[in-house]
Chain A
């Protein structure tokens, strides 16, 4: 951004109309009526922000599961049309791009040139702005930390319309106060991101079958140094001796010379994946505990050997669910609730056993349960901490909310926390207890937005805002 022009002047005729829309997150719960703006120019966005005297939140691709990008009976600004790439320096691998650019676009443009986003979550259809606001993490967290570690700077539009450039050197409080802050400090405009250099679009690694939780944890520890990417899928329908039986998937990006000769010629060529769409909502009974149990059992049995060397294309490894367009429709009209938590290292084993036993006993069947080891990282409101993280999703059914409150209590008492980007139902007192940096963050928030002009359904529900 031009340092001299850190306020965009607007002509009155530019103010846009909103559209009344029912918005929800990826979990389709809750869905709330909002006034949605969709500017196509920076000056339009500035007019919307400056003229807002009630409440506004920015929205990217809408892939947070809950109500982070929803603002019931208030304003939401869809920034996806501010999606220009501004410059790329191949020497430093630094990309400057507007916040509406998605990781998918970065991959499309730069993979063929030998670059990849430094951190990717489970889907590539997320915006840069949203990724910073959620401080996304991926299968590489134990080695590469979260996305913020690779962000050199970003421009942030405050409630007043003023634009500030935030980095570790300039406005660093605001930098760390915006990372993981779910859009509550302002609207992220332009981002400076360091991409990772890769030699091919393939990853090589192992599939390790772990008969129980201890075996899975041991496998994470054993492979920690060798592999830059690791994740385990857990069969949470298993109990007792088989509690936590899982398949560990570990891999590194393949070096060009380790590919077979035929692939070495075009190391970045990967056929576009067939993307079947889910054209209708599955009826609720399709996800009964029995069906989930059967699904889990089938997948586990598919992997015969205890350790197999495999090669994956990047899409299959990083984004298996993206290949099913609108896959969240599988969860029926009542939607689902995603739950992701993390425990400190010393508490992880006990915490995992406790939760897995509770889920197994409840017969609630998480369709897709993912376990990952986290490393250390910075951040005021960021979610990851060194330890283990578990991600689950439960179909909305009677008693679910009370059950999740019980899980919250289990996690909290062990010093763990829940991920805001996945949350749709956590209570305010739980959130306050789980995020000890909240008072410090509220100071930063109050310094740039004293009237709480940036606010969301999430922020109000869990009591993020200063009084």
Chain B
């Protein structure tokens, strides 16, 4: 029976992913900034599946509290077998491009906060020589675009960090999967202009879970983002810097 920590549990994708784990018999600990919401999601999973689902509050930007949070979650579950990182926010990109404090906030929410938590979790999993991590990133991290480079940088950094961690933890029998998510129909993109190729959280979460089951390393969700980003990353800089997407 796997003991899985879900970070960013109020994301619709995380919630459905948690449900999949629960349906397959996992015990869950759901972490989110909004403890009340996390508790409701945990109750929902318990009522629907009969699984044990606990919850607690954490803040990606509150680095000092991360060690204690992970310790508490692992203690509550009686162990830690897997960690799913599904938090992040587009934030206010316009502000982030002008105000360094806003830029740093975006980085903490999407990158450095994850780095802190992953470093702590990695130690635990490495000690026990088993387990997994699933890190939800974004296609925005594949190339810096004028429109959203602060967010993109955060995710890009996260991808590289995760990639290296994958190599280190492979020696300990721990799997680390990177998910590069395209546009999903959630509050992040609701009412936002210029969102295309949007997919439902159900489809996205099911694709992530399927990839986890087949032990993938790096997946694009949905799959068609792989060829799209493949092309996008090949466009010469001289041309790309002039585009508006």
Q: Show the binding face of A for B, using Cβ within 8 Å.
A: 16-19, 38-44, 81, 84-88, 98, 109
CB distance from A107 to the nearest CB of B (A): 12
B57, chain A: closest CB distance, angstroms: 13
Complex contacts, A39 vs chain B, CB 8 Å: 187
Closest 5 CB pairs of A and B: A17-B191, A84-B44, A19-B191, A85-B47, A84-B40
Distance in angstroms from A295 CB to nearest chain B CB is 35
Are A86 and B192 in contact (CB-based, < 8 A)?
no
User: CB distance A86 to B34 under 8 Å?
Assistant: no
Chain B residues closer than 8 Å to A16, beta-carbon distance = 187, 190-191
Residues of A within 8 A of B10 (CB): 40-41
Q: A39-B187, A41-B10, A44-B187 are in contact. Are A84 and B192 (CB under 8 A)?
A: no
- The B interface, classified by DSSP as helix, strand, loop or mixed, is helix
B187 touching A38, Cβ below 8 Å: yes
B37 contacts the other chain (Cβ, under 8 Å)? yes
| Cα distance A41–B188 in the bound complex, in angstroms | 13
CB of B191 within 8 A of CB of A40, answer: no
- A43-B34, A85-B48, A109-B48 are contacts. A38–B43 as well, Cβ < 8 Å? no
Name the contact of B40 in the complex, choosing from A44, A86, A88 (C-beta under 8 A).
Answer: A86
Contact call B48/A38, Cβ cutoff below 8 A: no
CB distance from A106 to the nearest CB of B (A): 10
Per the bound structure, the CA–CA distance linking A42 and B41 in Å amounts to: 12
Interface bits B46-70 vs A (CB < 8 Å: 1, else 0): 0110000000000000000000000
Chain B minimum-CB-distance residue to A109: B48
Interface residues on B, range: 10 to 19
A88 to B191, CA, bound (A): 35
CA distance A118 to B192 in the complex (A): 41
Across the interface, B191 reaches (CB within 8 A) one of A18, A85, A109, namely A18
Residues of B within 8 A of A88 (CB): 47
Within the complex, the shortest CB–CB distance from A18 to chain B, in Å, comes to 5
183-217 of chain B: CB within 8 A of chain A: 186-187, 190-192
Give bound CA distance, A86 to B12, whole Å: 17
Is the Cβ of B43 less than 8 Å from the Cβ of A86? Answer: yes
- The interface bits of chain B over 161-186 (1 if a CB of A lies within 8 angstroms of the residue's CB, else 0) are 00000000000000000000000001
Residues of A within 8 A of B41 (CB): 84
Q: Is the CB of A84 within 8 A of B190?
A: no
Contact B36 A42, beta carbon cutoff 8 Å: yes
Q: Which of A39, A85, A88, A109 has the most CB of B within 10 A?
A: A85
Task: Name the distance in Å between B157's Cβ and chain A's nearest Cβ.
Answer: 23
In-complex Cβ contact of A17 among B37, B40, B44, B190 (8 A) = B190
* Distance of A322 from chain B, by nearest CB (Å): 19
A109 & B47 in contact (Cβ 8 Å cutoff) = yes
Query: How many angstroms from the CA of A17 to the CA of B192 in the assembled complex?
Result: 8
Task: Mark out the residues of chain B between 6 and 44 whose CB falls within 8 Å of any chain A CB in the assembled complex.
Answer: 10, 12, 34, 36-37, 40-41, 43-44
CB distance A19 to B190 under 8 Å?
yes
A17-B190, A18-B191, A40-B186 known, 6 other contacts, Cβ within 8 Å = A38-B190, A39-B187, A40-B12, A41-B10, A85-B43, A109-B48
13 A-B pairs with CB atoms under 8 Å apart are: A16-B187, A17-B192, A38-B187, A40-B186, A40-B187, A41-B37, A42-B36, A44-B187, A85-B47, A85-B48, A86-B40, A88-B47, A109-B47
**Which residue on A lies nearest to B91, using beta carbons?**
A13
> How many angstroms from the CA of A88 to the CA of B49 in the assembled complex?
12
In the bound complex, what is the Cα–Cα distance between A16 and B188 (angstroms)? 9
Bound complex: CA of A45 vs CA of B187, how far in Å?
Answer: 12
Q: Find chain A residues with CB under 8 A from B37 CB.
A: 41-43
**Residues in B neighbouring A85, C-beta threshold 8 A:** 43-44, 47-48
Contact residues in A for B191 (Cβ distance below 8 Å): 16-19
Neighbouring A residues of B34 by C-beta, 8 Å: 41, 43
Is A86 touching B190 in the complex (CB atoms < 8 A)? no
